[in-house]
């Protein structure tokens, strides 16, 4: 009897699952495998920061899904799933409905803001190709704006970059940005001392999933970036605040970890609303 397997999402999980199932049921014509994704291309999310900080071209982190599944017993459907009816075993998309016997949810995740006021409204996300292509020109435009502003304080505001979250992604983004800064400064004839990269996290340590013994290694790497690219102005601030979910009382901001540069209390963080 025919069985429909519908995989919702063609990210890393969806692609790998579809390929493995197609291999497993290669000789079984009763098993129909379909992958539904809203995009025709797979984005290598793990490389997003490299595009955002101009290390690689936008196209290098995208691959056609048609090509990924070419020659395999997998149908590709381009649609955005809007709801799932588990009783009727149907996925509903904007373009149509997809009946399933087995459904595999591989539609990814969303950034978490942990109830901290600000990041959700004011930050650029590093979470999808669409976010990425907005973030890169924003960084570049800040250097253009800084160049045309006569006052030093205004220039500094444009050249202050705040990264919310010091997990793997935040840390990688900080590193990529620090690598890009010297060439931007050269291009716009800006003194590197004007540029600041600030990474903020709830915790007072970076990449908390790392073993504590790795922390000093990371701190040293950070100091090296700071001295190379931003003239000793890369900071990690710890920003504990009230958590909406737990309702815990606001604890005073823990002492900023000064990795290098001026006291962190002088850092001024300007919200800048991303364009609609
Ligand atoms: C900048 C960055 C760096 C990272 N670096 C690493 C790393 O070095 N190592 C590591 O292990 N992990 C890293 N990660 C995490 C890793 O990218 C994710 O864990 C991984 O992408 C999750 O894979 P996934 O298939 O579950 O979801 P995703 O890759 O997010 O794929 C979800 C898919 O579902 C589709 N989709 C979503 N909603 C719908 C809908 N309603 N209808 C149709 N389709 C939909 C999307 O278009 C997408 O194709 C990084 C993440 C980021 C953002």
Model confidence pLDDT, tens digit, residues 241-259: 333 333 333 333 334 333 3
Question: What is the reported pLDDT for 44?
Answer: 94
Q: What's the structural domain count of the chain? A: 2
Distance 209 CA to ligand 1 centre (A): 19
Are 26 and 124 members of one domain?
no
CA-based angle 172:176:211, to the nearest 5? Answer: 25
Give the integer Cα–Cα distance in Å for 230 and 192. Answer: 5
The strand order across the sheet containing 75-78 reads 75-78, 31-37, 3-8, 102-105
Are 178 and 137 members of one domain?
yes
Are 44 and 141 members of one domain?
no
Question: What is the reported pLDDT for 216?
Answer: 80
Are 124 and 256 members of one domain?
yes
Are 125 and 97 members of one domain?
no
Question: In this model, does residue 152 exceed pLDDT 60?
Answer: yes
Are 135 and 243 members of one domain?
yes
CB-CB contact of 146 with 78 (8 Å):
no
Q: 67: helix, coil or strand? A: helix
Asked whether residue 275 is assigned to any structural domain, the reply reads no
- What DSSP element (H or E) covers 199? strand 196-201
CA-based angle 132:160:227, to the nearest 5? Answer: 100
**Residue the block writes with tokens 């908390």:** 208
Ligand 1 mutation pick, 46, 91, 111, max ligand atoms within 8 A of CB: 46
* Residues in the chain, overall count: 276
Kindly report the protein residue whose alpha carbon is nearest to atom 30 of ligand 1.
Answer: 108
Q: Is the pTM of this model over 0.85?
A: no
Asked whether residue 114 is assigned to any structural domain, the reply reads no
Kindly report the protein residue whose alpha carbon is nearest to atom 29 of ligand 1.
Answer: 11
Higher-pLDDT residue of 132 and 217 is 132
CB-CB contact of 104 with 16 (8 Å):
no
Question: In this model, does residue 200 exceed pLDDT 90?
Answer: no
Give the residue numbers spanning the domain of 163: 119-266
Ligand 1 mutation pick, 8, 45, 164, max ligand atoms within 8 A of CB: 45
Distance 129 CA to ligand 1 centre (A): 11
Sign of the Cα pseudo-torsion (107, 112, 117, 123, in order): negative
Are 126 and 28 members of one domain?
no
Mean pLDDT of the chain: 82
Buried-state track 50-81, b at ≥16 Cβ within 10 A, e below 16:
bbbbbeeeeeebbeebeebbeeebbebbbbeb
The number of the ligand 1 atom at minimal distance from the alpha carbon of 127 is 53
Ligand 1 pocket, residues with Cβ under 6 angstroms: 9-14, 36-39, 45-46, 48-49, 80-81, 106-108, 126-127, 168-169
Are 79 and 125 members of one domain?
no
């Amino acid at each position: 009897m025919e069985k429909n397997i519908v995989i919702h999402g063609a990210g890393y999980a969806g692609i790998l699952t579809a390929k493995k199932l197609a291999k497993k049921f290669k000789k079984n014509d009763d098993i129909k495998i379909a992958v539904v994704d809203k995009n025709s291309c797979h984005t290598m999310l793990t490389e997003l920061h490299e595009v955002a900080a101009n290390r690689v071209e936008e196209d290098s982190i995208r691959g056609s899904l048609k090509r990924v599944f070419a020659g395999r017993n997998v149908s590709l459907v381009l649609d955005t799933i809007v709801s799932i009816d588990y009783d009727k075993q149907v996925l509903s998309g904007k373009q149509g409905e997809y009946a399933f016997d087995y459904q595999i949810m591989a539609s990814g995740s969303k950034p978490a803001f942990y109830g901290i006021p600000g990041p959700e409204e004011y930050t650029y996300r590093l979470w999808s190709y669409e976010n990425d292509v907005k973030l890169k020109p924003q960084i570049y435009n800040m250097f253009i704006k800084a160049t045309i502003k006569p006052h030093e304080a205004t220039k500094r505001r444009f050249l202050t970059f705040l990264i919310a979250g010091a997990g793997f992604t935040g840390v990688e983004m900080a590193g990529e940005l620090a690598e890009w800064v010297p060439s931007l400064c050269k291009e716009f004839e800006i003194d590197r001392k004007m540029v600041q990269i600030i990474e903020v996290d709830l915790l007072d340590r970076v990449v908390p999933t790392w073993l504590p013994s790795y922390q000093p290694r990371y701190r040293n790497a950070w100091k090296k970036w700071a001295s190379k690219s931003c003239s000793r102005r890369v900071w990690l601030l710890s920003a504990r605040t009230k958590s909406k979910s737990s309702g815990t009382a606001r604890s005073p901001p823990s002492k900023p970890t000064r990795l290098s540069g001026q006291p962190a209390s002088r850092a001024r963080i300007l919200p800048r609303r991303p364009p609609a």
